């Protein structure tokens, strides 16, 4: 759930309840007082339309699951707003205004601050929706925190694995260097042994020749 959407939702529910009360009050007024009350109601309706638009934009910017849920709620608020607009049209209609006023006077419902049963139901519904939204927000936050903890744990494991791989790579690189050095040493030793063989062979050949010459001179 979006905290921004929740803020708009709370403002709309309060505004809707206030407009319903004003509609009830305006239906029993006449003259300038009624005109002023209707002006207030119309200004409130414009504000309600703006809140509906803001909620719509915010809902459409969220993820698919949350978006679908918020758009469903938004349809209910749009229906509520249309109902308020119909009530305002009924109040401003000259044909129905007098009839409504007389009915209210006859039934003793003249008190401008009295809320009708329908409005009480709407208020109760709005309160229930706010409570449900609050519960969903808490659940979403809990899930988000759990997901965040899991993500942090996974990142830590990946970091440790990366460090292990880097350490193993360094060891392999060191082994490669040692192997290269060993190869060079063995190659140098092999060359030295070959050179020593030639030297020893040459010395032996020289000694053999010397012995042959000495024997030849003695015998001759």
Centre a 10 Å sphere on the Cβ of residue 58 and count the other Cβ atoms it contains: 20
Total-model pTM: 0.42
d(CA 109, CA 116): 9
- Helix, strand or coil, per DSSP, at residue 22: helix
The predicted pLDDT at position 65 comes to 85
Give the residue extent of every domain in the chain.
1-93, 153-219
Question: What does each of the 220 residues of the chain score in pLDDT, given as a tens digit?
Answer: 678 888 999 999 999 999 889 888 887 878 888 888 888 888 999 999 999 999 999 888 888 888 888 999 899 999 999 998 998 888 877 654 454 555 455 445 444 444 455 666 667 676 777 777 767 777 767 777 677 777 766 777 777 888 888 888 788 877 778 788 878 888 888 888 888 888 888 889 888 888 888 888 888 7
d(CA 25, CA 34): 9
Centre a 10 Å sphere on the Cβ of residue 209 and count the other Cβ atoms it contains: 10
Residue that is written with structure tokens 């109601």 in the block: 41
Q: Are 7 and 29 in contact (CB under 8 A)?
A: no
1-93 belongs to which homologous superfamily? t-snare proteins (1.20.58.400)
């Amino acid at each position: 759930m979006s905290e921004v959407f929740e803020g708009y939702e709370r403002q709309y529910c309060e505004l809707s309840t206030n407009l319903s009360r004003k509609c009830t009050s305006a239906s029993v007024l006449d003259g300038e007082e009624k005109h002023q009350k209707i002006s207030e109601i119309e200004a409130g309706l414009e504000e309600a339309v703006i809140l509906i638009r803001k909620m719509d934009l915010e809902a459409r910017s969220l993820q698919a699951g949350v978006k679908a849920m918020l758009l469903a709620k938004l349809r209910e608020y749009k229906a509520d707003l249309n109902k308020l607009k119909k009530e305002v049209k009924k109040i401003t209609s000259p044909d129905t205004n007098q009839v409504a006023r007389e009915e209210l006077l006859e039934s003793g419902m003249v008190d401008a601050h009295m809320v009708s049963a329908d409005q009480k139901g709407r208020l109760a519904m709005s309160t229930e929706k706010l409570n449900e939204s609050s519960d969903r927000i808490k659940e979403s936050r809990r899930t988000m925190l759990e997901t965040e903890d899991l993500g942090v744990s996974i990142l830590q494991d990946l970091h440790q694995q990366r460090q292990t791989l880097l350490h193993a790579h360094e060891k392999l690189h060191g082994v490669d260097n040692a192997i290269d050095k060993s190869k060079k040493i063995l190659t140098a030793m092999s060359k030295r042994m070959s050179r020593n063989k030639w030297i020893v062979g040459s010395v032996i050949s020289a000694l053999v020749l010397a012995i042959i010459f000495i024997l030849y001179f003695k015998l001759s």
